[in-house]
Amino acid sequence: MLLTQLSNALDRAFDTDIPEKIGVAVSGGGDSMALLDLLRQWGMAELAVVSVNHGLRPEAADELALVADYAAQHGLKHNVLQWTWGGEGNLQNAARDGRHQAISAWVKENELSHVALGHTKDDQAETFLMRLSRGSGVEGLACMAACRESDGVTWLRPLLDVTREDLRAYLRENNLSWADDPSNKDMQFDRVKARQMFETLAPLGLTLDRLAQTAAHMQRQKDIVQWAEEQIGKVFVQDSIGDMVADRAVFESVSDALRSKVFADALCLVSGQKYRPRFRPLQEAMTSDTPTPLHGCLIVPGKNSLRITREWAAVRDEVAASDGLWDGRWRLHYDGETPTEALQIKALGKEGLAKISDWRDTGHIRQSLWATPALWQGDRLIAAPLAGLSAGWTAQLLRT
């Protein structure tokens, strides 16, 4: 039964184009150990197994040893990647992002294209509850997709229609070992709190199946929104200094749901942030008649336009070598011989712009120019190519 469900899910993901080799992310927990064994039983592609040691618990070594033993027993290649938390931000979010980045790099190094993950119907329902508690809209409530491409990697979740208990029963029936992470019972984590809510919600009809079903409905609505967004075209257009600019009349003619989405996408493009801002501040910034900072950007409303520019306060401490990448999106190039003096790329800022008498000839507003890259030698401004002071330098925008 489970093997048939997995096979059907992979048929939908691959159609007839099954890769020769698939990566499998395995932690040693029940979900991923069952996934690994099911994929081996499926047998349509060679498997490469990868685990990530977060270095947070001493028990992790024993859990990964289970994976290593299984891989050795069945002649599978197994790699363990290391990730270290810097101590900043939400631990679970940081671990998830770190794991994603580590596995993405491993996939590319090993010339793979697909990685299978052991997420289940339980994970789908838990994620739905967590995002519902944060006031997420359709995009957030759509939760996890069975097949998704990110960072050049296709992430597969072939067990989204299978419950966690179904996988435990499969492991017991086949005498397969797994490890239970004690953090899965730690109530300081939102996912554990959501998991504990199931017993309370079930009498209201909000069962695991119903929550997962609602997430699937949200996914269909998300697909409709994406189609509609494509139909209205690119509301925001990127200009020469990396700002996103929309015709205000066109922007305001779009439905509120689509307007929020394209606005959030434009903010993410300018700021380089992966996650969209929360709904309420997004709505407030989108409808404000005065310049409003949000998400590392400054929203500047005009009579006929709406502009999203990088916020100077978000980049004022960004420093890069003259040949380095600044703010994740700018490189400066010199037209002559490489300068020998020590130069740094920093934001132009208000003081820098005040040193350029003809900056208005660029046609750009001062708030945008403050956050553009400039060459400095100590406190001396050498060049600001986007503000009209080239001195032989040009700026290349890499994030478009």
**Binding site feature residues for ATP:** 27-32
Q: Which residues are annotated as a binding site?
A: 27-32
What is the C-alpha separation between 7 and 354, in angstroms, rounded?
65
What is the C-alpha separation between 183 and 57, in angstroms, rounded?
10
Looking at this protein, which amino acid is placed at residue 171?
Answer: L
3-state helix, strand, coil in the chain (%, to 5): 45, 20, 35
| Burial environment of residue 204 by CB neighbours within 10 A (0 to 12, 13 to 18, 19 or more) | exposed
Beta strands in 234-392 (DSSP E): 236-238, 244-247, 292-294, 297-301, 305-310, 320-321, 330-334, 344-347, 373-377, 380-383
What is the C-alpha separation between 24 and 356, in angstroms, rounded?
55
Contacts of 155 (CB under 8 A, 6+ apart): 114, 115, 117, 147, 148, 149
In order, the DSSP letters of 94-115 are HHHHHHHHHHHHHHHHTT--EE
Token pair belonging to 195: 């998991």
Q: Are 191 and 181 in contact (CB under 8 A)?
A: no
The residue length of the chain stands at 400
Q: Are 399 and 242 in contact (CB under 8 A)?
A: yes
